[in-house]
């Protein structure tokens, strides 16, 4: 895939809109800035959607699943079969993300991007299998360039067909914290030991073995330094599909709600291709996975929640979703000082504008 085939993602910077959003929030019946990060969230949503009165419509939870050849190296506490078993759990409605999607009215789509298991067709499932899992990245590139391109194109096409103006990112794939750690280490120039954690629950000794495997993988692919080269060398089919989904959602000016470490690694790759992708992203939470704080710092992202989550699936994005709904409601429905007949402080909107 060449950069010319990646959709354009324009700069959202709009001084007039930013001023209108700031004025609208400052005029509400509250002390200036008293809603803290929720105020910044409301203004970000308005900037993404291009209006001082943003509304979130038909939100879509997209959970992409794929298997990883590197899992055979013992980098996960769970066997690869858990990937397909959890896909079945998503579709049966029993997984955490399934429960949260139902609770919050999120349309859930599960995508088989490269799971080593056949699935019977059913509502809510898209089969976009590039291959039966990626290759072992310690022996060869996880994906060929062509496979990587196909997965990205699949993600773009999926989003084109989804309604709404908000996309929540989720994933499933035994071994995919290793892929995310490798992408972060290579693209951000960080030590792999600093960005590698317990994943599905490895003990300290197993984490050290995981670090050694990932260090060897990095040494095996010294030339995989460009975003797409690194993605092909280290990533999973589900991560590459999410990269395409992020790029398409950003091009369409959708709100992109980013879950944890693995979803953030897809955003990292997408942002290296189209930097203005980050203007469309709301980062749901800071994961308990070791590398995620460093990932967020690298992306200069301000997460909404910090609950020690490390489940993945899109669960953190779903938990954060009500905050986005509330931010829009406050901006659209909260009374202003003038409309409510409430006296403002002497250093209110006018004072801010003169400052």
Q: Which residues does the annotation mark as catalytic?
A: 313
Q: Residue with structure tokens 């402080």?
A: 345
Q: How many Å apart are CA 32 and CA 347, to the nearest integer? A: 9
Measured between alpha carbons, how far is 257 from 338 in angstroms, rounded to an integer? 34
Specify the 3-state DSSP secondary structure of 157. Answer: helix
Phi-psi region at 199: left, alpha or beta (left = phi > 0; alpha = psi -120 to 50): left
Q: Is 30 exposed, middle or buried (0-12, 13-18, 19+ CB in 10 A)?
A: middle
Q: How far is 285 from 160, CA to CA, in rounded Å?
A: 26
Q: Map tokens 């298991």 to a residue.
A: 117
Task: Return the closest-CA partner of residue 184 out of 288, 98, 88, 289.
Answer: 289
Q: Helix 176-188 to helix 227-234 angle, to the nearest 10 degrees?
A: 150
The single residue listed with the structure tokens 């989804």 is 162
DSSP state of 334: S
For residues 282 and 249, what is the distance between their CA atoms, to the nearest angstrom?
13
3-state class (DSSP) for residue 30: coil
Pairing relationship of beta strands 281-283 and 166-172 according to DSSP bridges = unpaired
Contacts of 25 (CB under 8 A, 6+ apart): 35, 39, 42, 43, 331
Q: In what order do the strands lie in the sheet with 125-127?
A: 125-127, 107-114, 60-66, 166-172, 255-258, 281-283
Residues 39 and 156: their CA atoms lie apart, in Å, by 31
Quote the CA–CA distance of 55 and 58 in Å, as a whole number: 10
Cβ neighbours, 10 Å, residue 192: 22
């Amino acid at each position: 895939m060449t950069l010319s085939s990646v959709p354009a993602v324009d700069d959202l910077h709009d001084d007039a809109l930013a001023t209108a959003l700031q004025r609208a929030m400052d005029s509400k019946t509250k002390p200036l800035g008293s809603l803290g990060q929720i105020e910044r969230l409301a203004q970000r949503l308005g900037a993404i959607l291009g209006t001082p009165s943003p509304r979130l419509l038909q939100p879509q939870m997209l959970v992409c699943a794929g298997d990883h050849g590197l899992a055979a190296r013992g980098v996960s506490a769970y066997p690869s079969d858990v990937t397909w078993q959890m896909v079945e759990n998503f579709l049966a409605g029993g997984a955490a993300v399934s429960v949260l999607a139902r609770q919050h009215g999120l349309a859930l789509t599960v995508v088989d991007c490269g799971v080593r298991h056949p699935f019977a067709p059913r509502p809510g499932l898209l089969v976009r299998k590039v291959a039966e899992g990626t290759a072992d990245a310690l022996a060869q590139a996880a994906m060929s360039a062509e496979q990587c391109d196909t997965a990205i194109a699949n993600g773009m096409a999926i989003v084109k067909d989804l309604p709404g103006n908000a996309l929540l990112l989720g994933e499933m794939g035994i071994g995919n914290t290793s892929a995310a750690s490798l992408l972060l280490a290579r693209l951000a120039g960080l030590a792999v030991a600093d960005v590698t954690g317990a994943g599905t629950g490895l003990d300290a000794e197993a984490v050290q073995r995981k670090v050694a495997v990932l260090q060897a993988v990095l040494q095996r692919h010294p030339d995989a330094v460009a975003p797409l080269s690194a993605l092909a060398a280290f990533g999973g089919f589900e991560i590459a599909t999410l990269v395409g989904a992020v790029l398409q959602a950003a091009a369409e000016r959708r709100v992109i709600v980013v879950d944890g470490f693995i979803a953030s690694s897809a955003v990292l790759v997408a942002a290296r291709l189209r930097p203005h992708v980050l203007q469309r992203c709301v980062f749901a939470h800071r994961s308990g996975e070791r590398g995620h704080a460093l990932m967020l710092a690298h992306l200069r992202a301000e997460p909404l929640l910090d609950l020690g989550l490390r489940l993945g699936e899109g669960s953190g994005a779903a938990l954060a979703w009500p905050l986005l709904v509330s931010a829009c409601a406050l901006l659209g429905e909260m009374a202003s000082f003038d409309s409510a007949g409430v006296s403002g402080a002497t250093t209110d909107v006018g004072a801010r504008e003169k400052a």
